[in-house]
Amino acid sequence: MCTRFRFCASLLFPQAASTCVRNNASKQQERVQGTNDSSVVSKVSAAAQGYFHDDFLKHFVCKVSRRAPLINRGYYVRWKAVDHCLKQFFHATQSCSRRQILSLGAGFDSLYFRLHAEGALGGVTVFEVDFPEVARLILSNPAFYAVFIRSGHYNLIGVDVRKEQEVEVTLSGAGLQWDAPTLVLSEVVLTYMETQWSDAVIGWAAKLLPQSVFVMYEQIHPDDPFGRVMQNHFLKLNSTIHALKQYPDTVTQTQRFIQKGWEKCVCLDMNQFYFDLLLEDERQRVEGLEPFDEFEEWNQKCSHYFILTASKDSVVEVHVLFSLLVSSIPHMTPQWAERPTLVIQPMCGSPSIEAVGMASAVLAPGIILLTGGCGRSGRDTTARVLIKEKDGWKCACVEAHGDKGDLISGAVLFGGRTSPLNPTDSVGCVTFDPGNEQSQSAVKLSFRNMVCTGTGPKPRWRHTSTLICYKDKTFLFVFGGRTEKDPVLADAHFLCLEDKHWTEMTVVGAVPEARHSHSACPYGGGLVIFGGLGKGSRPLCDAFYLRPTSSGFCWETKNLHPPPVPRYSHSAHVINEKLVVVGGVWLQADGVPGVAVINLSTGSCVEIQLDTSSVPWPLMLHSFCCELLDSEGSEMVLIGGGGNCFSFGTHLNLHPITVDLRPVLCNSY
């Protein structure tokens, strides 16, 4: 068996035939194991948390570290997509006597070993290719070495995949049979070479392997805010991602493979893969592994990666790999209005406010209260006010003052969380003293907990609380949200502020389905609910009017046409019978949401693009606050927002910005 090892090793390194075994293994191993910023560490972390099973990856790292749930999920979905294609290929070719996997840029992948250990390989021969230097490093790992020697179906080959002729000679020499059914795998590899080269690889694979299926996983959507952060990350690492400039989405990637000689091609982004190719049981298993609250970041990560399979006229049909009948999250084209566009304006002289998940309220004209949220230094407990002054805006931190003044003149806070395991059901009230007109820096706020009677809602977050007036009383209406146990809620509660009592109210009509991260705006004596993230973490696009009646309230469903693209984590306001929905996260359309304008009388709906060219940084409109400063909509202020961009770093919007909505409000859509 050792003979076989030497044979392979010398054959496989055409440029450095005999150096691989004799090199000082411990030093190289250090380098292998020093890749703690690489995907291997994250895959090891995900495996350790139970996302998938892999006993071999851990041999490539010094110690198993625990990554954030978002990272674990991100690597899980990548691992699962590749695994799905492999298993489907094995199934489709089970009657073939000779089958092969050719993994391009395999790096420190454990594919062969884990498949072998699972007993899934069934005689499939694996060829892993990487640069000669990388292949040599892999060979120097003792754990690897031990397993390697025992295997008869494993080949590690050091060659530059851009060099077609060298590839052909080396792989032939290693025993690859060009006409046997072969799965060619490229997991984040081709994107690191210039597009002419990745195109060439896709081309030679189609030409040299007539019975093959190509499986590729890499990035897309480089130009939206998340995509810009993603690109910058790779630029900083000196590993520019290339092909996505020319092939920015699933459609162009598909066309690319057809142009390079493949006959059929299916390309899904990872949201589509997750929702449409994983069984509900598996999604529930994965979603239950760790406390998780990064929905926006997770969906955005998934919309920036794809899994593609392309086939020749072969034993393996692409549709076999992705046996997808009807998508449950079909791709949509937003109904963009030709004009006008809404123009984002930097806020004159505005302070820097970098935080996500704050709550806001307008306390008085030009005075916005911001509470809670999470900034660069963690959760923020102090409240802030943004104050509009003659020469611009300023931000003041506020101190708690003595308890005085009229309850209703400030703001009421309900719920929220510290960790996702620790939500609250407390009701806080903020009273406000505008102080001296000349110097608004003297704004005084007092905070206190409100002790309420009656049965209140259970602790929650990502709900809405909205003030409505009914029969001369003021109610805080709480709807939806989630708890540490309930992924979505549909219960509604009324807190009478004058009585400090959670009041039973008669509500008839069809209750909106359970959701969180939706919007609720006062409207017509009641309120209107829009969108959110529903059961199974699917975004919603429905609207409901909670209409006051003589005996309570009645839910009425609003029919919207054309249906807007489902979204969540947006903000909304009603201005003159129009529901104006700003930002949010969607999965089913390219780009990011701008402003949806819904005519509440007719249900007609139009999407307006936001012109963000005046903002030099990527503007991420989710987990943000949004307040209107006047009833005409001439000044809407957007504050905070952003989030973790997977492993590319955290991006928080730098400054508040404003939008003048009047161009879309005077249009009779």
Ligand X SMILES: *[C@@H]1O[C@H](CO)[C@@H](O)[C@H](O)[C@H]1NC(C)=O
Ligand Y SMILES: C[S@@+](CC[C@H](N)C(=O)[O-])C[C@H]1O[C@@H](n2cnc3c(N)ncnc32)[C@H](O)[C@@H]1O
**Rounded to whole angstroms, how far apart are CA atoms 231 and 251?**
20
Shortest spacing between CB 35 and ligand X, in angstroms: 7
Q: Which stretch binds ligand X (CB under 6 A): 29-37, 240-248, 359-367, 546-554?
A: 29-37
Task: Name the 3-class secondary structure at 642.
Answer: strand
342 versus 386: smaller Cβ distance to ligand X? 342
Binding ligand X (rule: CB under 6 A), the pick from 64, 149, 169, 237 is: 237
| Interaction pattern, residues 558-597, with ligand X; x per rule: CB under 6 A | ------------------xxx-------------------
Q: Does 188 sit near ligand Y (CB under 6 A)?
A: yes
Q: Site residues for ligand X, window 596-625 (CB under 6 A)?
A: 599, 601-602
Binding ligand Y (rule: CB under 6 A), the pick from 52, 131, 234, 336 is: 131
Q: Which does 161 bind (CB under 5 to 8 A by kind): ligand Y, ligand X, none?
A: ligand Y
The one-letter amino acid code at 548 reads P
Q: Give per-residue burial for 67-82: e unless 16+ CB within 10 Å, then b.
A: bbbbbbbbbbbbbbbb
Q: Does 234 sit near ligand Y (CB under 6 A)?
A: no
598 versus 657: smaller Cβ distance to ligand X? 598
Total site size for ligand Y, rule CB under 6 A: 17
Q: Which does 109 bind (CB under 5 to 8 A by kind): ligand X, ligand Y, none?
A: ligand Y
Pick left, alpha or beta for residue 517 (phi over 0 → left; psi -120 to 50 → alpha; otherwise beta).
Answer: left
Q: Which does 39 bind (CB under 5 to 8 A by kind): ligand Y, ligand X, none?
A: ligand Y
9 versus 585: smaller Cβ distance to ligand Y? 9
| The two three-digit tokens of residue 417, written as one number | 């969380």
Shortest spacing between CB 190 and ligand Y, in angstroms: 8
Task: Name the 3-class secondary structure at 516.
Answer: strand
424 versus 602: smaller Cβ distance to ligand X? 602
Q: Give per-residue burial for 23-54: e unless 16+ CB within 10 Å, then b.
A: eebeebbeebbebeeebbbbbbbbbbbebbeb
Binding ligand Y (rule: CB under 6 A), the pick from 20, 32, 46, 106 is: 106
Shortest spacing between CB 218 and ligand Y, in angstroms: 9
Contact 89, 316 (CB under 8 A): yes
Q: Does 284 sit near ligand X (CB under 6 A)?
A: no
Q: Does 74 sit near ligand Y (CB under 6 A)?
A: no
**Rounded to whole angstroms, how far apart are CA atoms 531 and 536?**
14
Q: Does 105 sit near ligand Y (CB under 6 A)?
A: yes
Q: Site residues for ligand Y, window 109-128 (CB under 6 A)?
A: 109
**Rounded to whole angstroms, how far apart are CA atoms 355 and 376?**
7
Question: Between the CA of residue 316 and those of 89, 212, 264, 367, what are the distances in Å?
Answer: 7, 7, 11, 64
Beta-bridge partner residues of 394: 387
Task: Please name the residue that has the structure tokens 């290929």.
Answer: 89
Q: Does 438 sit near ligand X (CB under 6 A)?
A: no
Shortest spacing between CB 22 and ligand X, in angstroms: 9
Task: Please name the residue that has the structure tokens 């963009």.
Answer: 336
Contact 610, 341 (CB under 8 A): yes
When CB distances to ligand Y are compared, the closest residue is 105
**Rounded to whole angstroms, how far apart are CA atoms 426 and 458?**
10
Number of Cβ within a 10 Å radius of residue 408: 13
Total site size for ligand X, rule CB under 6 A: 15
Shortest spacing between CB 83 and ligand Y, in angstroms: 12
**Rounded to whole angstroms, how far apart are CA atoms 475 and 648?**
43
Binding ligand Y (rule: CB under 6 A), the pick from 13, 57, 75, 107 is: 107
Shortest spacing between CB 574 and ligand X, in angstroms: 10
Print the SS3 string covering 199-251.
Answer: HHHHHHHHHHCCCEEEEEEEECCCCCHHHHHHHHHHHHCCCCCCHHHCCCCHH
Q: Give the β-pairing of 125-130 and 100-104.
A: parallel
Contact 100, 124 (CB under 8 A): yes
Q: Which stretch binds ligand Y (CB under 6 A): 99-107, 455-463, 590-598, 657-665?
A: 99-107
Question: Between the CA of residue 613 and those of 616, 618, 627, what are the distances in Å?
Answer: 7, 10, 22
Q: Does 161 sit near ligand Y (CB under 6 A)?
A: yes
Q: Which does 389 bind (CB under 5 to 8 A by kind): ligand Y, ligand X, none?
A: none
Q: Give the β-pairing of 125-130 and 154-158.
A: parallel
35 versus 604: smaller Cβ distance to ligand Y? 35
187 versus 607: smaller Cβ distance to ligand Y? 187
Q: Which does 238 bind (CB under 5 to 8 A by kind): ligand X, ligand Y, none?
A: ligand X
Shortest spacing between CB 149 and ligand Y, in angstroms: 22
Q: Which does 578 bind (CB under 5 to 8 A by kind): ligand X, ligand Y, none?
A: ligand X
Torsions phi, psi of 559, nearest 5? -85, 120
Binding ligand Y (rule: CB under 6 A), the pick from 192, 234, 470, 617 is: 192
75 versus 502: smaller Cβ distance to ligand Y? 75
Binding ligand X (rule: CB under 6 A), the pick from 95, 165, 238, 613 is: 238
* R_g (Cα) of the chain, nearest Å: 28
Q: Which does 601 bind (CB under 5 to 8 A by kind): ligand X, ligand Y, none?
A: ligand X
Q: Which residues bind ligand Y (CB under 6 A)?
A: 39, 105-107, 109, 129-131, 134, 160-162, 187-189, 192-193
Q: Which residues bind ligand X (CB under 6 A)?
A: 24, 26-27, 34, 36-37, 237-238, 576-578, 599, 601-602, 668
